[in-house]
Amino acid sequence: MPSDRSSKAPMGLKIAAAGGLAFLHLPILLIFVYAFTTEEKSYRWPPPGLTLKWFAVTWNRPDVWEALYLSLQVAAVSTLIAILLGSLCAAAVAKSRFFGREVVSLMVILPIALPGIITGIALRSAFHLADIPYSMWTIILGHATFCVVVVYNNAVARFRRTSSSLIEASMDLGANGFQTLRHVILPNIGTALLAGGMLAFALSFDEVIVTTFTAGQEATLPIWMLEELVRPRQRPVTNVVAVVVVLVTFLPILGAYYLTRDGDKTAGHGK
Amino acid sequence: MQSAVLFKNVSRHYGEVRAVHAVDLEVRAGEFFAMLGPSGSGKTTSLRLIAGFEQPTSGHIEIFGETAEGVPPYRRNVNTVFQDYALFPHMSVRDNVAYGLMIAGMGRKARYAKAEEALELVRLPGYGDRAPAALSGGQRQRVALARALVNEPKVLLLDEPLGALDLKLREQMQEELKSLQKSLGITFIFVTHDQGEALSMADRVAVFDHGKIQQVGTPQDIYQRPDTPFVADFVGSSNVLPADMVLELTGHHAAASLRPEAIRIGAEEKHAATVAGASYIGAVTRVSLNFRQMQLSALVPAGVAVPETGETVSIGWDREALHLMERGS
């Protein structure tokens, strides 16, 4: 019957969809499985046995803690910078008209469109030319370039959907600029900033390419993992760290998704 | 009578664009004043100049005798009902209405009580807990009205507040606004492009075109004695007779307006015209007539025989129906 056909997908399509999803997610499951294997030199399938000992080993490895701590610091600081610069930039682009507005908009988005390797090389040569020693701060600057974009994109979309007469209405009802910011603007763009910030944090936390070019001796968690893979020593430790990275980045992305899900309606439109 | 709002030679230019140009205007305290004009005529810019969202390029604005230059919107005793209502979507109806009072530092209990009073005034009692998104267009409009009125402004500005409502609701709101204004005694300044709305609601009307005021007067003045061809045409689509034709007809060299309902069609009349078409619009039938070099529009009341298209008829009007417009001719 035609009505059945429109509501039920054919079997072939179902299999294809299942295959696609499996292709996307099975390798990630493998990473999880190998975090529990008893064998440490090479990844053999099936794992000869299961153990929790790598979690204890990882816990006691100071280099893991160092890398994790650095990654968290970098992600937190670049997210803060991104929220500040991204929201200010979005406010300027969405709420006022000035010469070169579209150019500014494009220039802010460009870093995420550029391949990371270009950003990385450009920053590295810029740091070199300016005689800036590589440190945690150079990594943060590198990450901020693409974190700003994420916050900006979220904030500018929300600003555009927020009717500008809301701000005028607040002023009209006696609120000065600061009161308007506090009672009207921030509550309206707050979730967009939070979502943008979470995405920025997740992006920064697992970034490899730009970090490779802007780091000195320091290793962020993803860099540490990359280095670890070529060394056949306590390999499952890498997998344990990978599990942690997946969880740490997945939760904020999920949070961002839920925060922006309901934001489709134009704020403040009566019609 | 004290003037609520005074414009002295006020201009607001955006580069080459003269949104408002050399406008003199006096709105009297306690009157219902309409600013009427097509879009881009400067009426909304004038309203925004009063609210303080715009600053004049030149000229002087007074609100109840106090100079308004450099006074930001939040320090003016003027409140606005916005065209899109601009209700805060993250607040309940109650918090929306109480917003101005909260900013003014009034305690929660007192301001919620006043907000409820204001909601009763606009006939929405008990709606305080709802979200603006859960209201209909007409209800949002009333909330916006309550939110403005709760601050007891000296002047209430309304920017095309009925534009988004359907016809029946609009007519109902027109009457409510009118009686609200009478009972509160607050000066209402109302922007609209609908001449019927302006004529039926306002005590006085200012007709705007191209950033200038064409005429200020009572609805009767504007309708029966337009100063310029634009006013004659825009307010109630009057026939505008060119100066040369009026010279032949009357001996005066000036353009003249002739209301469609003032034209009589009958055998005893003295001017010949041919019927170009007729359209039935309810209580009357609108008849298009070719008269000399121009087309005239006449209204024939129901029950009177409507001439056939192509027929030659005699038309005429009372001498005083031909209103000479010395300005703009």
- The verdict on residue B17 lying in a domain is yes
Q: Do A270 and B78 touch (CB under 8 A)?
A: no
- State pLDDT tens for residues A181-204: 899 988 888 888 988 998 899 889
Among A172-176, A257-261, B318-322, which stretch is predicted with the lowest mean pLDDT? Answer: A257-261
pLDDT of residue B327: 64
- The verdict on residue B72 lying in a domain is yes
Residue B14 in contact with partner chain A when CB distance is under 8 A? no
- What residues of B are in contact with residue A168 (Cβ under 8 Å)? 51, 53, 73, 80, 82, 86
- State pLDDT tens for residues B72-96: 999 999 999 999 899 999 999 999 9
| pLDDT higher than 50, residue A268 | no
pLDDT of residue B49: 95
Q: How confident is the model at residue A269 (pLDDT cuts 50, 70, 90)?
A: very low
Q: Do A265 and B141 touch (CB under 8 A)?
A: no
- What residues of B are in contact with residue A163 (Cβ under 8 Å)? 84, 86
Q: How confident is the model at residue A267 (pLDDT cuts 50, 70, 90)?
A: very low
Q: What is this structure's pTM?
A: 0.75
| pLDDT higher than 80, residue B237 | no
* Residues B277, B151 share a domain: no
| pLDDT higher than 90, residue B144 | yes
* Residues B67, B23 share a domain: yes
Residue A41 in contact with partner chain B when CB distance is under 8 A? no
ipTM of this predicted structure: 0.82
- State pLDDT tens for residues B283-301: 888 899 998 888 899 988 8
Q: How confident is the model at residue B162 (pLDDT cuts 50, 70, 90)?
A: confident
Higher-pLDDT residue of B202 and A270 is: B202
* Residues B166, B218 share a domain: yes
In the 3-class helix/strand/coil scheme, how is chain A assigned residue by residue? Answer: CHHHHHHCCCHHHHHHHHHHHHHHHHHHHHHHHHCCECCCCCCCCCCCCECCHHHHHHHCCHHHHHHHHHHHHHHHHHHHHHHHHHHHHHHHHHHCCCCCHHHHHHHHHHHHHCCHHHHHHHHHHHHHHCCCCCCHHHHHHHHHHHHHHHHHHHHHHHHHHECCHHHHHHHHCCCCHHHHHHHHHHHHHHHHHHHHHHHHHHHHHCCCHHHHHHCCCCCCHHHHHHHHHCCCCCCHHHHHHHHHHHHHHHHHHHHHHHHHHCCCCCECCCC
Give me the CATH number covering residue B267: 2.40.50.140
Beta bridge partners of residue B156, listed in sequence order? B79, B188
Q: In what order do the strands lie in the sheet with B255-258?
A: B239-241, B255-258, B323-325
| pLDDT higher than 50, residue A1 | no
pLDDT of residue A265: 44
* Residues B247, B226 share a domain: no
Higher-pLDDT residue of A160 and B80 is: B80
Task: Measure CB to CB from residue A172 to each of B51, B84, B85 and give the nearest one.
Answer: B51
Residue A176 in contact with partner chain B when CB distance is under 8 A? yes
Residue A187 in contact with partner chain B when CB distance is under 8 A? yes
pLDDT of residue A59: 87
pLDDT of residue B113: 95
- The verdict on residue B228 lying in a domain is yes
* Residues B313, B174 share a domain: no
* Residues B155, B69 share a domain: yes
| pLDDT higher than 50, residue A94 | yes
- The count of other CB atoms within 10 Å of the CB of residue A6 is 8
* Residues B49, B193 share a domain: yes
Higher-pLDDT residue of B202 and B307 is: B202
- The verdict on residue B41 lying in a domain is yes
* Residues B222, B292 share a domain: no
| pLDDT higher than 90, residue A74 | yes
Identify the domain boundary among B232, B255, B279. B232
Strands B271-280 and B284-291: antiparallel
Q: How confident is the model at residue B23 (pLDDT cuts 50, 70, 90)?
A: very high
Cβ contact B183:B177 at 8 Å = no
Among A87-91, B147-151, B301-305, which stretch is predicted with the lowest mean pLDDT? Answer: B301-305
* Residues B214, B191 share a domain: yes
| pLDDT higher than 80, residue A13 | yes
Q: Do B89 and A172 touch (CB under 8 A)?
A: no
Q: How confident is the model at residue B117 (pLDDT cuts 50, 70, 90)?
A: very high
| pLDDT higher than 80, residue B252 | yes
Average pLDDT for residues B303-320, to the nearest whole number? 85
pLDDT of residue A121: 92
pLDDT of residue B25: 94
pLDDT of residue A262: 58
Distances (CA, A) of A38 to A107, A156, A236: 50, 50, 9
What's the domain count of chain B?
Answer: 2
- What residues of A are in contact with residue B149 (Cβ under 8 Å)? none
pLDDT of residue B329: 43
In angstroms, the separation between the Cα of residue B238 and the nearest Cα of chain A is 34
Selected residue of A162, A163, A167, A173 to mutate for chain B interface (largest B Cβ count, 10 A) = A173
Task: Measure CB to CB from residue A270 to each of B79, B137, B151 and give the nearest one.
Answer: B137
Distance CA B101, CA B111 (A): 6
- The verdict on residue B132 lying in a domain is yes
Q: How far is CA A8 from the centre of its chain?
A: 36
Distance CA B21, CA B7 (A): 11
- The verdict on residue B282 lying in a domain is yes
Residue B96 in contact with partner chain A when CB distance is under 8 A? no
Residue A97 in contact with partner chain B when CB distance is under 8 A? no
pLDDT of residue A232: 65
Residue B245 in contact with partner chain A when CB distance is under 8 A? no
In angstroms, the separation between the Cα of residue A251 and the nearest Cα of chain B is 26
Give me the CATH number covering residue B181: 3.40.50.300
- The verdict on residue B237 lying in a domain is no
Identify the domain boundary among B172, B200, B232. B232
| pLDDT higher than 90, residue B214 | yes
- The verdict on residue B238 lying in a domain is no
Higher-pLDDT residue of A5 and B265 is: B265
* Residues B176, B289 share a domain: no
pLDDT of residue B189: 96
Identify the domain boundary among B204, B232, B260. B232
Stated length of chain A: 271
Task: Measure CB to CB from residue B84 to each of A163, A171, A173 and give the nearest one.
Answer: A163
Q: How confident is the model at residue A85 (pLDDT cuts 50, 70, 90)?
A: very high
Task: Measure CB to CB from residue A173 to each of B79, B133, B164 and give the nearest one.
Answer: B79
- What residues of A are in contact with residue B72 (Cβ under 8 Å)? 171, 176
Average pLDDT for residues A136-145, to the nearest whole number? 91
Task: Measure CB to CB from residue B104 to each of A172, A174, A268 and give the nearest one.
Answer: A174
Q: Which residues contact B9 (CB under 8 A, 6 or more apart)?
A: B22, B23, B24, B58, B59, B60
Closest-approach residue (CA) in chain B for A177: B74
- What residues of A are in contact with residue B151 (Cβ under 8 Å)? 173-174
Domain extent, residue B304, equals 243-325
| pLDDT higher than 90, residue B206 | yes
Q: How confident is the model at residue A152 (pLDDT cuts 50, 70, 90)?
A: very high
Average pLDDT for residues B112-118, to the nearest whole number? 95
Among A67-71, A170-174, B319-323, which stretch is predicted with the lowest mean pLDDT? Answer: B319-323
pLDDT of residue A208: 87
Residue percentage of chain B with pLDDT more than 70: 99
* Residues B135, B86 share a domain: yes
Higher-pLDDT residue of B151 and A238 is: B151
pLDDT of residue A55: 85
Average pLDDT for residues B125-144, to the nearest whole number? 92
Domains of chain A: residue spans and CATH: 67-261 (1.10.3720.10)
Greatest mean pLDDT among A193-197, B69-73, B114-118, B279-283? B114-118
Q: Do B86 and A165 touch (CB under 8 A)?
A: yes
Q: Do A188 and B84 touch (CB under 8 A)?
A: no
Q: How far is CA B51 from the centre of its chain?
A: 17
* Residues B312, B175 share a domain: no
| pLDDT higher than 70, residue B141 | yes
| pLDDT higher than 50, residue A264 | no
- The mean of the pLDDT values for chain B is 90
